[in-house]
Amino acid sequence: MPNLEQLHACSNRIQRLGGIEKDDDAQDDNNTAITAQQLAQALPQLRVLDIDNNELHDFNQVLLLGQLPMLTRLQLNGNRLSTVSPCTPRTGWCTDGGGVW
């Protein structure tokens, strides 16, 4: 779906983002993992991702969406994200409450 610009997947009871792993942590035991790099290659034009009102709880998976090169709008309202992770070797990203870098 290289031309997809908007994806709306609201209220679908999504609990995880389909086995997405950071590239250097990818382990594909069941052929279900997709690396952040593969995601970026599959959706290079995605600008809007609306996953409001789902059941996401792991902020580390959300951070991997930062690999989408054109993403400018990410909607996560109504999920179960209770904490935002600080910089760690696992995530590879830092947060300060105001953004991710």
18-65 pLDDT, tens digit per residue, is 666 655 555 545 545 677 788 889 999 999 999 999 999 888 888 888
Which pLDDT value is given to residue 101? Answer: 46
pTM score: 0.72
Read off the pLDDT of each residue in 73-101 and give the average, rounded to a whole number: 68
Domain boundary assignment for the chain: 1-101
Per the listing, tokens 């009871």 go with 13
